[in-house]
């Protein structure tokens, strides 16, 4: 799956000359936690997050009253608190690469670009939706986790046995097993009962059923 199919298109953005108060109000209004920062020519020059705004606020130990705090934040510009070194991703990049970057860099979003133009944003929430869809979490069926040998034709053998009994695998996720010779697979199957699936897996040699549930 590529990023442009799951990203939020034409994301809400803000100017570097806007105040911190304006950024906070815009985030609250749009119910978002990230704002790309665009200059007057439309160039991406930064990104500001709720965490940046919290850091910009006064310490809990401050002696300033709420009016003084509000006044100071109204004078503080986004360009002073935003992250200027923005990590971006292309719209034609794959989703798993975006997830890898976000995990490795400990960030919650990536502005999406086409050339030099900002065309979208992908967030951790977008990736959660991809995860939900990949596992078929919103569809009913029999979910199994199996441990199988890492060898050619193994998945075809299992899928064939399920299809032969009238089952349909509509979700499949691969993960490394406990050793290089095995892999752990999670499948969701429709058209069969739990007993049917248990019977199929029991019949297949060298396939360990680790978990099954409806």
Contacts of 157 (CB under 8 A, 6+ apart): 204
Q: Describe the chain by its helix, strand, coil percentages, rounded to 5.
A: 35, 30, 35
Higher pLDDT, 162 or 69: 162
* pLDDT (mean) for 8-25: 93
- pLDDT band at 76, cuts 50/70/90? confident
Instruction: Looking at the structure, tell me whether residues 7 and 107 fall in a common domain.
Output: yes
CATH of the domain at 144: 3.30.70.260
Instruction: Looking at the structure, tell me whether residues 16 and 65 fall in a common domain.
Output: yes
Instruction: Looking at the structure, tell me whether residues 125 and 141 fall in a common domain.
Output: no
* pLDDT (mean) for 203-213: 93
In the predicted structure, residue 48 carries a pLDDT above the cut 70: yes
Number of domains comprising the chain:
2
In the predicted structure, residue 62 carries a pLDDT above the cut 80: no
% the chain with pLDDT above 90? 73
- Least Cα distance to 189 among 202, 173, 203, 178 occurs for 173
pLDDT of residue 198: 96
Instruction: Looking at the structure, tell me whether residues 51 and 127 fall in a common domain.
Output: yes
In terms of residue numbers, what domain contains 114?
3-131
Residue 86 · residue 111 · CB < 8 Å: yes
In this predicted model, what pLDDT tens digit does every residue of 79-99 receive, in sequence order? Answer: 989 999 999 999 999 999 999
pLDDT of residue 61: 41
Beta strands 109-114 and 89-90, pairing class? parallel
Instruction: Looking at the structure, tell me whether residues 209 and 151 fall in a common domain.
Output: yes
First CA to last CA across the chain, in angstroms? 27
Domain final residue, candidates 89, 107, 131:
131
* pTM exceeds cut of 0.85: no
Instruction: Looking at the structure, tell me whether residues 115 and 20 fall in a common domain.
Output: yes
Instruction: Looking at the structure, tell me whether residues 142 and 124 fall in a common domain.
Output: no
Instruction: Looking at the structure, tell me whether residues 186 and 92 fall in a common domain.
Output: no
Cα distance between residue 4 and residue 119, in whole Å: 9
Q: Which of 4-8, 63-67, 139-143, 186-190 has the lowest mean pLDDT?
A: 63-67
Q: What is the DSSP letter of 59?
A: P
In this predicted model, what pLDDT tens digit does every residue of 185-207 receive, in sequence order? Answer: 999 999 999 999 999 999 998 89
Domain final residue, candidates 103, 131, 159:
131
């Amino acid at each position: 799956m590529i990023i442009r199919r799951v990203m939020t298109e034409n994301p809400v953005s803000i100017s570097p000359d806007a105040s911190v108060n304006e950024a906070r109000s815009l985030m609250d209004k749009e119910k978002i936690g990230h704002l790309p920062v665009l200059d007057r020519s439309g160039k991406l020059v930064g990104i500001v997050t709720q965490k940046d705004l919290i850091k910009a606020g006064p310490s809990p130990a401050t002696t300033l009253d709420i009016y003084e705090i509000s006044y100071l934040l109204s004078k503080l510009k986004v360009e002073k608190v935003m992250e200027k070194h923005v990590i971006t991703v292309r719209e034609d990049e794959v989703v798993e690469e975006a997830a890898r970057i976000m995990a490795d860099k400990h960030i919650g979003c990536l502005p999406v670009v086409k050339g030099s133009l900002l065309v979208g944003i992908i967030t951790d929430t977008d990736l959660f939706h991809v995860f939900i869809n990949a596992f078929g979490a919103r569809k009913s069926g029999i979910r199994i986790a199996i441990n199988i040998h890492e060898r050619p034709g193994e998945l075809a053998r299992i899928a064939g046995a399920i299809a032969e009994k009238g089952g349909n695998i509509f979700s499949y996720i691969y993960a490394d097993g406990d050793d290089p010779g095995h892999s752990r697979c999670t499948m969701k199957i429709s058209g069969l009962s739990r007993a049917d699936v248990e019977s199929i897996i029991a019949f297949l040699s060298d396939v360990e059923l680790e978990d099954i549930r409806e």
